[in-house]
A and B are shown apart, each in its own frame.
Chain A
Amino acid sequence: MSDDGGLWLLAIGPTGAAALYWALYRFYRNTDKSHAFERETAVDAKPVTGSNDKVDKITGTRQTRIDGDNVAAYRKRVQRVE
């Protein structure tokens, strides 16, 4: 067991308490619930079109995902182009 591994373990207590609190809070108050219109609305879509252009290459990053990944955060608005 290394020193940094030990420090990481010390976070278990507060993290576990916070996770249990928020999970039960959500179960009672359901603040995260809303109409899932993305899934539950009848949508008739034509095939998606578009392009992919390779513009860069990354080597040796430790990030597991792209910066600002919002592919599943449909309700987070980005710059609106008119």
Chain B
Amino acid sequence: MLMTPGLALFYGGMVRAKSVLNMMMMSVACLGVVGLVWVLGGFSLAFGDSTAGLIGNLDHAGLRDATAVVGGDTGIPLQVFAMFQLMFAVITAALLSGAVADRARFWPFALFIALWTVCVYVPLAHWIFAFDGYVADAGGWMANSLGALDFAGGTAVEINSGASALALAIVLGRRRGWPQQPMRPHNLPSVLLGAGLLWFGWFGFNAGSALAAGAVAGNAFVTTMTASAAAVLSWLALEHRLDGRPTSLGAASAAIAGLVGITPACGYVDTFGALLIGLLAGVVCQLAIRLKYRLGYDDSLDVVAIHGVGGLLGMLMLGLVATDAVNAAGADGLFYGGGFAQLGKQTVAVLAAMTFAFAVSFLLAWLVRATVGFRVDAEVEAEGIDEAEHAETAYDFMPLSTTARLHDGARLHEGTTP
């Protein structure tokens, strides 16, 4: 719950002053929209009894059974588990907003998120997070039939948000003037504050995925810290080499890249594996950002490069550095004598998640664009989306020029309380 407002600050600081509220509102919209969709039926479709490993059912729609528990002897109430899983769904949706910064209309974005949660997030979460016998008798195909490893969301959260963001960025098109006009971040302290909240929340995200306060959770905690710390250092070192300075935006981005990379692996690798994943994430994600200028798609806040590529890296690295010494439910990767088998399973999961998320998101975004329109007018984009979409501006630069009025048009008199 801390992470989505943290993401709002992280993303809000990265856009221009004239669109910070719209950027933050997209995160708030996800808390509202995904929260409702999840309670009403999303959770049940993701974790209910499976049809062919593809989708759950509506047995838990409405989440009204306060006595149900999950996983037999864990004793975790179903409602608690549903709320924990909801936070993954919310932040994944909110991540997508980074690809459409400065140019998406508010209500069409909210509509897209509602459709996307049902059609993209829910099936993917079912595939990888729904295990046989945990909430329902039959779970998802990736988790059970395939045996791919994903501890805290490399597929359903990271690769999913990256691939879906790419689809959104392509359907919406570039911001006007990108990449010629400067669109530099307007508030880097906000970016760092947001990154800090995300980093903190991520411990709950990763260690919490052990669903018990034991050794596996402890290991996930340590590997999460190790990877993000390593990513900060490798990112800054490469940045200094390429651009001449280590930057604060680089440090904030690096922490997120490291956290993304370790997310699928945190419960299945030891500290050495985490260190390797973190170091690589700081280098690979940064190089991936530079690619968007070559390929020409405007993924404004680099969701594809950080979440898509970072998630891909973490999932594939699992095939190399996973070790069942830290978690009996895991497997041995190539470096630990497990051969190529796990790497193969990881590759299948990655390809399936990427293809599915990109294709369905592209279709949904196209549908929203064709029916209600997705982008703001050129004039609004130039003058500031905050004022046009929300009738607000984040900062009062010229207090002398405002006059207060009641909404019905009556002028406020001195001493009148609005």
A binds B: no
Residues of A within 8 A of B (CB): none
Residues of B within 8 A of A (CB): none
